[in-house]
């Protein structure tokens, strides 16, 4: 009886799971544009949750598994990693979750799609361990490039569009921060002359 009920719910919800792809797309772009590390990570966690459900719909098992790990890591990173400190248990948790990601990549192996999702997850893991938002953005930029490969292979229009928008958003935010630093350094340089 429970299995029949679950199957009925699944069939009813299945046709709407692409809504999660659309929502994930929006959140992915927004994450790259967020001004603070905390908001980048929270928005990224919400994006990963949406794409996990989207990949479930597509049958992309490795992508779905990597998204679950991304949600966990993003939430832990947002709460327990900061410019001044990092909880001592965070590094072992990230090492363990990276090993789980590698095992899940192998367990759900689907060729190049899995390789891209696994590489993207490992780069995103490194990004989440960063205390500074600029270094985090650089690593997320590399991770998004691998996820673009995954999404191209599995046929996720939402995922590929999200990756292209995320890459654009991260690049804009990165350049904007560089301009601010250059603008702040210019008056100091003028004073030293």
Tens digits of residue pLDDT in 94-143 = 999 999 999 999 999 999 999 999 999 999 999 998 888 888 889 999 99
pTM of the predicted structure, to 2 decimals: 0.78
Q: Which 3 state secondary structure label does DSSP give 17? A: coil
Angle value at C-alpha 77, between 45 and 119, nearest 5 degrees? 70
Tens digits of residue pLDDT in 127-140 = 998 888 888 889 99
Residue whose tokens read 């690593």:
139
Reference 76, options 96, 93, 101; nearest CA is 93
- For residues 126 and 139, give the distance between their C-alpha atoms in angstroms, rounded to a whole number: 7
- For residues 34 and 131, give the distance between their C-alpha atoms in angstroms, rounded to a whole number: 15
Q: Which 3 state secondary structure label does DSSP give 84? A: coil
Domain residues for the domain of 177 are 2-192
Tens digits of residue pLDDT in 41-78 = 999 999 999 999 999 988 899 999 999 999 999 999 99
* Weakest-pLDDT range from 100-104, 148-152, 177-181: 177-181
Q: Which residues contact 164 (CB under 8 A, 6 or more apart)?
A: 148
CA distances from 29 to 39, 106, 130 (A): 13, 29, 20
DSSP 93-114: HHHHHHHHHHHHHHHT--THHH
Domain total for the chain? 1
Residue whose tokens read 């909880």:
87
Residue 89: both structure tokens together: 């248990």
Give the residues across from 86 on adjacent strands.
Answer: 81
The dihedral region occupied by 81, where left means phi > 0, alpha psi between -120 and 50, and beta the remainder, is: beta
CB burial of residue 189 (10 Å; 0-12, 13-18, 19+): exposed
């Amino acid at each position: 009886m429970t299995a029949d009920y679950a199957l009925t719910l699944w069939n009813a919800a299945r046709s709407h799971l692409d809504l999660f792809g659309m929502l994930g797309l929006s959140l992915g772009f927004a994450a790259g544009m967020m001004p603070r590390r905390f908001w980048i990570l929270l928005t990224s966690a919400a994006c990963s949750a949406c794409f996990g459900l989207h990949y479930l719909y597509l049958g992309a098992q490795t992508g779905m598994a990597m998204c679950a790990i991304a949600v966990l890591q993003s939430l832990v990173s947002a709460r327990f990693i900061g410019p001044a400190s990092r909880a001592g248990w965070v590094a072992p948790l990230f090492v363990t979750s990276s090993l789980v990601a590698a095992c899940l990549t192998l367990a759900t192996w689907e060729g190049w799609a899995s390789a891209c999702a696994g590489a993207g997850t490992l780069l995103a893991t490194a990004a989440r361990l960063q205390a500074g938002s600029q270094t985090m953005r650089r690593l997320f930029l590399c991770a998004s490039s691998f996820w673009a490969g995954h999404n191209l292979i599995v046929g996720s229009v939402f995922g590929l569009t999200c990756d292209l928008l995320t890459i654009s958003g991260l690049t804009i935010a990165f350049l904007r921060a560089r301009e601010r630093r250059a603008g702040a350094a210019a008056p100091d340089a003028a004073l030293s002359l």
